[in-house]
Structure 1
C-alpha cells in the first residue's frame, strides 16, 4: 500500500530551471557533504541531520534543470533548511547523472530517475547511522526534479527483497512528495492537448524535439508508460498538492516560453486524473519567502512529516 504523497509546486523565475545556473545559497552548511551513494561522480548527496533523541523524518530534495544542468546545491535556495531542522526533520539533497553523463542510456530519463530511486534506498539504509525514521520519508523537487519525484512517488515498490545488495532491499515508498512546477506527463500527445505550444520532454526519450517525439509516439509508448508520472497514477496513490506560479489556463495556448515548459496546465491535467481516480488533489499558488528561502516546500514537508 502506498503511503501519503503530497506534491507541492511553487513559483520559479521564467526559464530558470533550464538555465543551468545554480540557485543562491542560504541556510546552514550540511552535516555531511558529497556522500557517495553510487559509482558515478554525480552519485553524491548532502545531509543535514536534525538534532533529536528520536529518529527524525527526512526530506529528500531532487534538483531541476531539465536533467541537463544544476545540482544538489539548489536545495539551499529552494528549501528553508533551517526551518526543517528546527522542526526536527533531517534533509538530504541529491545530485544525479545528467544528459551529458548518460548519453548512451535509453531512454535517457532512466538515468536520473533510477539514480533518485537508488539515492532514496541508500538514505534508508543509513537510517540507523543517521538517526532517521524510515517510515517518514518525503520527496521534494523542482521542475524536472519534481517530475522525477512524482515518478518515484507514484511508482510501485522498487525494492528487491531477495537481492544480495542490502541497499537494493530498501523500500522506495515515501510518506510525501513536495515538488515545484513538475512536468506531470511525458506523453507528447497528452501534453500538446494540455499545452498547445509545449516544447518540453523530447530529450527524456532521446529525441530532438517534441514534434519528432509525437511523430514517433507509438515507438516510444513503452517508455512513456514506464517513466511518465501521469501514466503511473493509480487509485491507491496518496494525496497530491500542486502549486504553480503561472496563471492557470486549461488548455494553455500561451506563446510564452515559460508556459511551454512550466505551464500550470500540467497541474490541472494531473488533478483531473486524480479526481477521476479518487486521489485527493489540491492546486495552490505559493510565492511567499521566509528570509531568502522559499517556504512552500518546507512548510508542507513540516506539516506532513510531523
Structure 2
C-alpha cells in the first residue's frame, strides 16, 4: 500500500521530516509550518488509489487521487490540490502535499491532485494569455471531479482548494471567481459548478498586476510570464519587470481576469493563507514572490466585503498555525 517519496529540496541538517512527524501534522517552516527535511530523505507515503485519470485531451490534463484510510459508504470531504512551480513545472506529489497526506487520509478526507498545462504548453497551443491554460485547466478538472463524484466517493459541497505558490494563486482564483459553469452546455461536465467550500493556501500571489506588486513590495519582479512577457537574453529581473510594467495598460484586461484579488465579492467562501515572513507593506522583501504583503492586501479586501479570512505569518495571532490544522478542523471526518 505504500511507496517512497523523496523530498525534492534540502534544508538545515537538524530538521528531519519523518513519518511520525508528518502524522503529527507538522511541515517545513518555509511551507506549511513546522518541520523540514534532511538532504534528501525518503519518506513513506500512501500510494495513490488511481493515477492518470484524464479530464481533457492534453497529456498533462490528468488527475490522481487517494481514498481515505478508513473507507466509508458515505461521501467524503475532499482536498482539491493544485501544485506550484510558477505554472512552468512542479509535481502532483510535491512536498507540501506529501507532508499533509497521511493525516488527511487518516481523518477521512479524499485527496485529489491536479496536473495541468504549463505556460510552455499554452505557447505551443497558442493559448492567450498563457496563464489561461493552467487556470482554466484546474477549473475544468474541478468540474470533472464534481461530475464523477460517485467515482471519487466525495461530497461535492465539501471541497477545499489547496496549493502552494502558483498553485495557491490558482486555488484562490477558483475560490473567489464567480461560478464558471455553463447551464446551457450540451456537455454535462461543463454544467457543473466551480464554486468551492474555501481555499487553504501556502504563500500565494494574490495579484498579477505589476503596479500593485511594485506598490506593495518595491523589489517585486514576478508575473510577466503569465501574460507572455518573458526574460530576454541578457535581461536581469528588474529589466524584465520594467518591461512588464510598460505593457501593463495593454495587458490590463487579462491581468484583471486572472488576478484573484479582482474577483472578491461578498458571496465568497472563507480563505486561509499561510506565509512565513512578517509583512512590511511598501518595503523590500527577501522573497518578494512569496511575501506576506500579498496576503495582507487580499485579507483587507476580503474583510471589506465581509468574507472570512485567516492570515498566518510570523508573529500573527491566528487560530490555525498550519494549512493542515485548518483543513482538519473544517473537513475531518475522523479527527484525532
TM range (shorter): 0.7 to 0.9
Aligned partners of 2:242, 2:277: CA distance in 1, in Å? 24
1:185 is displaced (CA, Å) by 0.5
1:217 alignment partner in structure 2: 248
How much has 1:283 moved relative to structure 2?
A: 1.4
Once residues 251 and 242 of structure 1 are traced to their aligned partners in structure 2, the CA distance between those partners, rounded to angstroms, is: 20
Range that drifts further, 223-232 or 24-33: 24-33
| 1:111 correspondence with 2:133 | yes
Kindly indicate whether residue 62 of structure 2 is the aligned counterpart of residue 36 of structure 1.
Answer: no
- What's the offset of the Cα at 1:99? 1.6
SS of equivalent to 1:145: helix
**Corresponding residue to 2:87 among 50, 53, 67:** 67
Provide the rounded CA distance (Å) in 1 between the counterparts of 2:190 and 2:42: 34
Unmatched runs of 5 consecutive residues or more in structure 1: 1-9, 14-21, 287-294
How many residue pairs get aligned? The number is 279
Asked if residue 207 in structure 1 is aligned to residue 229 in structure 2, the reply is yes
Kindly state the Cα deviation for residue 139 of structure 1 after the two structures are TM-superposed.
Answer: 0.5
Q: Which residue of 2 aligns with 1:299?
A: 325
Contact 2:278/2:292, CA 8 A, preserved across alignment:
yes
Q: Pairwise mapping of residues 125-136 of structure 1 onto structure 2 (< 5 A)?
A: 125-136=147-158
CA deviation profile, 1:226-258 (whole Å, cap 9, x unmatched): 11001111122222222201232122323x3xx
TM-score, structure 1 normalization? 0.85
SS state at 2:243 partner: helix
Structure of greater Rg: 2
Aligned mates of 2:149, 2:99 — CA distance in 1: 22
Q: State the Cα distance separating 1:166 from its structure 2 match.
A: 1.4
Task: Indicate yes or no: 2:173 matched with 1:151.
Answer: yes
Contact 2:79 2:111 in 1 (8 A): yes
Q: Report what 1:285 is aligned to.
A: 313
Deviation string 1:57-103 (CA, Å, 9 cap, x unpaired) is: 11110000101111212166454212111211100011111122111
Which residue does 1:86 correspond to in 2? 106
Q: Does 1:198 align with 2:226?
A: no
Alignment of 1:220-299 (within 5 A): 220-254=251-285, 256=286, 259-285=287-313, 296-299=322-325
Which of residues 23, 43, 47 in structure 1 aligns to 2:65?
47
Contact kept? 1:176, 1:305, Cα under 8 Å: no
Residue 174 of structure 1 pairs with residue 200 of structure 2: no
Once residues 215 and 42 of structure 1 are traced to their aligned partners in structure 2, the CA distance between those partners, rounded to angstroms, is 33
Q: CA deviation at 1:267?
A: 0.7
- Aligned residues of 1:23 and 1:74 also touching (Cα < 8 A): no
User: Structure 1: how far apart are the matches of 2:60 and 2:155?
Assistant: 26
What are the superposed Cα offsets for residues 236-289 of structure 1, whole Å, 9 maximum, x if unpaired? 2222222201232122323x3xx2211111111111212222222221138xxx
SS in structure 1 at match of 2:289: helix
* Aligned CA-pair RMSD: 2.2
Residue 187 in 1 paired to residue 209 in 2?
yes
Go from structure 1 to structure 2 and tell me whether the alpha carbon gap of 1:223 and 1:150 turns closer, same or farther (over 3 Å shift). Answer: same
Higher RCO (CA 8 Å, separation ≥ 6 residues): 1
Change (3 A) 1:155 1:36: same
For 2:116, which of 96, 100, 107 is the aligned residue?
A: 96
Query: Any stretches of 5+ residues in structure 2 without a counterpart?
Result: 1-27, 32-39, 231-239, 315-320
- Going from structure 1 to structure 2, the CA distance change for 1:215 and 1:280 (only over 3 Å counts) comes to same
Give the alignment's TM-score, normalised by structure 2: 0.78
Contact 2:122 2:131 in 1 (8 A): no
Cα displacement (A) at 1:170: 1.0
